[in-house]
Structure 1
Amino acid sequence: METGSRDGTGIPGDETMWRGLPPGLLRMRRLLLVAWTGLLTVATGLLPGLLAGPAWAALALVPLACAAWGWRLLGRNWRSWRYAERADDLLISRGVLWREETVVPYGRMQLVEVTSGPVERRFGLATVQLHTAAAATDATIPGLDPAEAERLRDRLTELGEARSAGL
């Protein structure tokens, strides 16, 4: 998903091409929400229902209400993530209530990792993690297609070597 929007620098004509995360990440997170909520619903409804009486089985509604709320929050969070490759740096923007925008200069990157856990691999996803000298500026882009993650890793590594800050 690519959209053109102003990058907020105030420079006329300076457009940043933002890329959103693929929908596979949202599907994976929502499936995990449903799976864990299902287990929690059974535990909160079945156990009290058997041990304390059928009226206590209504406790199963609490995890279901939380899951409905979580479903909506996951969608909002997924839409908030985006990244942009610019000439001298990489921008990563995320957050719904508290917006966070990370700017990582290519010359400051020390390591670019592509990781994929078992659940991510099942959904065909990978995570790109950028490491810099300052631990506070490490940045992550989750839920990318593995081919895009590798392309981004190779491009960032190439640009990082070309613009090395001499650290």
Structure 2
Amino acid sequence: MDSLFRPDVGTWTPVSPRLATARRGLGLVWIVVLWAAAAAGTGIPVATTDDWPWWPLAAVTVVAVAAGVALWVWAGRNRRSWGYLEAESDLLVTRGVMFRRLVAIPYGRMQFVDVSAGPVARRLGIATVTLHTASTETAADIPGVPADEARRLRNRLTEIGESHGAGL
């Protein structure tokens, strides 16, 4: 079944491991913020007293740690599921661990290629390459592409798209 989502037509390019680092970092920040809000909601006294119940804070902490472990595992598996392949007539993008998806975007159908990076992505040297077509079903994002590769991919796809679309 995996051959359905990764055809043997060439060499697949994986995304950068820094994508998992970015997702883990941002996710852990959110977990800490939510943990602090939940801990404050459990009624932590300003001064610790002997009769204060400790179990609500312990329950919130256990949930936060479990969420952190799940996030850590998910980010690595999700990063490994992404890949792209520059085939002869189209760009193939695959993703997904539980729900797999393979999108084939014909070069002649590309309208424009967008490269974006937020502050965390820029700090890690990665970007998201977005391919836009007239159909929303064939548009695709490729997150976690190293900045130099994103620039090369944008220029190459734009050049190929223009040459394939010239006959229209």
Q: TM-score, normalised by structure 1?
A: 0.86
Pairing partner for 1:36 from 26, 30, 48: 30
Work out whether residues 80 and 95 of structure 1, in 8 Å CA contact, stay in contact via their aligned partners in 2: yes
Number of the residue aligned with 2:77 = 76
Task: Write the letter of the residue equivalent to 1:91.
Answer: L
Mean Cα deviation higher: 40-49 or 65-74 = 40-49
Residue 148 (str. 1) matches residue 149 (str. 2): yes
Pairing partner for 1:45 from 12, 36, 39: 39
Aligned-residue identity in percent: 45
Residues in 2 aligned to 1:63 and 1:21: alpha-carbon distance in whole angstroms: 28
Pairing partner for 1:19 from 6, 10, 13: 13
Number of the residue aligned with 1:96 = 97
Q: TM-score, normalised by structure 2?
A: 0.85
Larger radius of gyration: 2
Gaps of 5+ in 2: 46-51
Give per-residue Cα distances to partners, 1:39-72, cap 9 Å, x unaligned: 2222223441416732211122112111211211
Work out whether residues 49 and 55 of structure 1, in 8 Å CA contact, stay in contact via their aligned partners in 2: no
Task: From the two aligned structures, give the one with the greater strand fraction.
Answer: 1
Task: Write the letter of the residue equivalent to 2:129.
Answer: V
Work out whether residues 41 and 60 of structure 1, in 8 Å CA contact, stay in contact via their aligned partners in 2: yes
Residues in 2 aligned to 1:166 and 1:115: alpha-carbon distance in whole angstroms: 29
Residues in 2 aligned to 1:162 and 1:7: alpha-carbon distance in whole angstroms: 26
Gaps of 5+ in 1: 1-5, 9-13
Number of the residue aligned with 2:55 = 55
Query: Higher relative contact order at CA 8 Å, sep ≥6: structure 1 or structure 2?
Result: 2
CA RMSD of aligned residues (A): 1.9
Equivalent pairs, count: 157
Residues in 2 aligned to 1:29 and 1:7: alpha-carbon distance in whole angstroms: 24
